[in-house]
Amino acid sequence: MPGSSTYGKFPLVASIAALSKERPVRQILDVGPGVGTYHDLIKPFIPGAEFTALEIWGPYVTEYKLKDKYQRVVVGDARYVDFGLLPKLDLAIFGDILEHMTFAEGTALLNRLLDHCDVIVTSVPTHHAPQAEHYGNPWETHVEEDYTEADMRANFPHLVDYIQDGYIGVAFISRNPDTAAAVRRAVSVGRYIAKKDVAEKGEVEDFNYTVLTDRLASALK
C-alpha cells in the first residue's frame, strides 16, 4: 500500500536523525515512497538533505504529488535502475519494499546499491502478511514474507545493527567501517529514544501518523 504501519518508524527516524549529527546525510534515496511518508518524517530533522524518490508505479507520482516533496523523482523498478546515474548517496531507505520481491532479488539489489550508497536502511514485516494488488497497482503484491533477523544477517554480511519493533524489523547496512561505527552509535540512541517515549507515553496506535509525527518532534527536539 502507498502507506504502511507506524511500527519501526520511530526508532528508524530517531536513528537517522542521530546519524546526521555525526556524518553528513545530504543525499537520501527513498525507494517506493508511496505517499512520501519517510520524506515527511525525516525532512524536519535533516532540512538540508536532498531527497530522490524511486517509485515503480507512475500514477502515485501525480496522485501523491511526489514532485512537490522530492528534488528528483525517478519512475522505475529498483531492481533494474542504474544507481550510478544518481548523485552519490549517503542514505537509502527501503520502507516495506523487500517483501515485494524474492529474497534473491532483494539481496542482489541491496548488495549492488552498496556500491553507490553509504548506508541502507530496510523495514520489513517479520510475520505472515499476505497482500495482493491495491489501487490497481500490481506491484503492491507481497512475494516473500517472514523476513527474520536471521534472514537479514544471512543475506547481508554488512548488516550493522537491527531493531525489532512490533511486527516490523529494521536493518541498518553499510560496508564502510567508519560509517558502521557511527551507525551503531546512532542506532543505540534511536533505540533508547524510542523505548523512553513508549515507556512514558505508551505505544503509538498503528497507522496513527498524527501522533507519531508529534511524538517524534517532541522526542528529537
- Residue spans of the domains in the chain: they are 24-174
pLDDT tens digits, 43-88:
999 999 999 999 988 898 999 999 999 999 999 999 999 999 999 9
pTM of the model: 0.92
Q: Which residues pair with 73 in a beta bridge?
A: 53
- The residue-averaged pLDDT of 167-184 equals 95
State the pLDDT at residue 136.
Answer: 67
Mean pLDDT, range 93-121, rounded to an integer: 90
**CA-CA distance, 119 to 115, in Å (whole number)?**
10
Which three cell numbers mark 122? 530496510
Which CATH number is 24-174 given? Answer: 3.40.50.150
For residues 62 and 167, the model is more confident at 62
Handedness of CA 55, 33, 164, 24 (dihedral sign): positive
